[in-house]
Structure 1
Amino acid sequence: MCRHAAWLGAPRTLTSLIHEPGNGLFKQSYAPRLQRYGTVNADGYGMGWYDPDHPEPVRYRRSVPIWTDANLPALARIARSHCLLAAVRSATVGMPVEETATAPFTDGRWLLSHNGRVARDAVGDLVGDPAGGPGSGGEPAGGAESAGGPESSCDSAWLAAAVFPRRRAGLPLGDALAEVVSHAGGKDPGARLNLLACDGASLAATAWGDTLFFHRDDRPGGGVLVASEPLDERPGWRAVPDRSLLLASPGGVHVQPL
């Protein structure tokens, strides 16, 4: 399993997800409070944010424990955006520990993180082609480095490679997550499919097999936080029911069953 968090609202720094909160992702890397599977998230970490001068998000990933990167605190204090996503990783048994297996995964303006596990066979027929055409089962045509193919053999990369073609085909972000999660969950009953994705203007997340929370601050300078578990002790954190889809935009937060 893993832990992830995202912010959409007034610009703030990445350290607001990682170091500043009492239960930020730095703390969750070695002492998560609500993680149901695994006790430590030491198999890498990553973060992404949006710079108004660039069309695509900036991404930074490492395959080492977050507490070993002496450069991170300074970087996290400087990286500032209205939309942020960060994750710490606990690799599924048998999955590689490498930067290409570490969230966030990216395609165009989209960032995606996965907290959980799934059999790759459960998403293989969705990878690389939203219509399930040639090359969509097993390894995509053209190899893993081709457009739409997974960048790693890990299950999370395969989920990303199933979601991104649907987004490129025009599905709204939430619909792309819902379609992939419902399909994968139907084929792998033991799958844990908490996905968190953003495009710079909205967030979408699924709760399927593990915890998910959100906190909305409607005051000036506020916004919405979405996280595997609350980042701090403030009142107002709300649990997302299992098998639900969360959609967040500047206009509000909506939660619906999957």
Structure 2
Amino acid sequence: MSQIAAYLGARISLNHFLIEPPLSLFQQARTPQEHADISPDGFGIGWYYSSKPYRYVGTHPIWNDRNLPALAQTMSAPLWTAAIQSTTSATAVTNPSNAQPFHDAELQFLHHGYIANFHRSFKPNCLQYLSPEIAADIEGNSDSEYLFALLRQRLMDPDFVSLEVAIQDILSTLEVSLRDINSSLNIIVSNGKKLIAARHATNQNCDSLYFTNDDDQFPGAQLVATTPLTESAKWHPVPEHHLLVLQPDFPPELTRL
């Protein structure tokens, strides 16, 4: 599974978000905190430039990327997303199309979790629901990318006027279709203006997800991550089965799913 994190606030360097914090994703890739496994199987970083999403990904361990130190020192943005990957699937390791974050022309999408027996239990039904245009955009074979495709499909429906409502609808649908299947559905989605995260699961307990809007190392910023990026006591768990909305000039908003 991927460990995921996102930042929204004043413009900061990639280094400040990804590498410097004592419990950063870069550090947790080799010395995990709440999650026992190291994450040597790839990584991804997302940002926006001129309102368009971009990403930099690798299928090797994040600590072995020779370009990352220079990029981290010289790149800055007001919104960052990132993921580190641990997987038992050889395909996932070698296929950069499976690297997170995923994006389209507007959105970035990260998923921490899994759908048990995905290729038999869920993928066939998912493909029946997707339009040819959305299905054709799927480049990898991960459950995470198919979840993103479902969200993109929902957003094509004019009845879903907000990203939050579309995410809630997707998770409600999955709660029914996966009711007898173990799944972990922690996600982070961004449209470049705000972060929307969900802590959710079916047929099992939810995996961890935390947020903060008051960490001294990120003054005035809002963050969400699978585990806290610092040792500050100002990180709070997202309640199980809740949606979290983080946006500038507003306090964090939590909604029961």
Kindly indicate whether the alpha-carbon contact (under 8 Å) linking 1:95 and 1:155 is maintained by their aligned counterparts in 2: no
| Contact persistence 1:205–1:246 (CA under 8 A) | yes
The separation in 1 between residues aligned to 2:13 and 2:166, in whole angstroms, is 28
The yes-or-no answer on 1:34 pairing with 2:34 is yes
Q: Give, in whole Å, the separation in 2 of the partners of 1:226 and 1:72.
A: 22
Q: 1:167 to 1:28 in 2, by over 3 A?
A: farther
1:64 aligns with 2:60: yes
C-alpha distance in 2, partners of 1:224/1:92? 32
Shift of 1:150: 2.1
- The Cα shift of 1:234 comes to 1.6
Rounded Cα–Cα distance in structure 2 between residues aligned with 1:175 and 1:154: 24
Q: Which amino acid aligns with 1:194?
A: N
Aligned match of 1:165? 153
Matched AA of 1:236: K
Which position in structure 2 is the counterpart of 1:257?
A: 256
Which residue of 100, 116, 121 maps to 2:113?
A: 116
| Shift of residue 92, structure 1, vs aligned partner | 5.6
Q: Is the 8 A contact 1:92 1:117 kept in 2?
A: no
Residues 213-250 of structure 1: CA deviation (Å, up to 9, x unaligned) = 00103999512011111001122111111111111111
- State the 1:95 CA deviation: 5.4
**CA RMSD, Structure 1 to Structure 2 (Å):** 2.3
Residue in structure 2 matching 1:102, options 96, 99, 111: 99
1:10 and 2:10 aligned? yes
> TM-score normalised to the size of structure 1?
0.85
2:196 partner letter: A
**1:45-56 paired onto structure 2 within 5 Å:** 45-51=43-49, 54-56=50-52
Structure 1 Cα separation of the partners of residues 55 and 125 of structure 2: 28
Shift of 1:79: 1.9
Give the Cα separation in 2 of the matches to 1:231 and 1:248.
Answer: 17
- Identity across aligned pairs (percent)? 31
Q: Say if 2:222 is the partner of 1:230.
A: no
User: Within 5 A, what are the aligned runs for 1:105-144?
Assistant: 105-118=102-115, 119-120=118-119, 121-122=121-122, 125-126=125-126, 135-136=128-129, 141=132, 144=135
TM-aligned CA deviation for residue 166 of structure 1: 2.2
**Inter-CA distance 203–92: structure 2 relative to 1 (3 Å threshold):** farther
Q: Which of 180, 186, 189 lines up with 1:194 in the alignment?
A: 186
Q: Structure 1 residues 223, 143: CA separation in 2 closer, same or farther (over 3 Å shift)?
A: closer
Q: Give secondary structure in 1 for the equivalent of 2:252.
A: strand
Displacement of 1:44 in angstroms is 0.9
What is the CA-CA distance between 1:123 and the residue it aligns to?
6.0
Distance change in 2, residues 1:218/1:25 (3 Å): closer
Q: Say which structure is richer in helix.
A: 2
CA separation in 1, counterparts of 2:21 and 2:75? 16
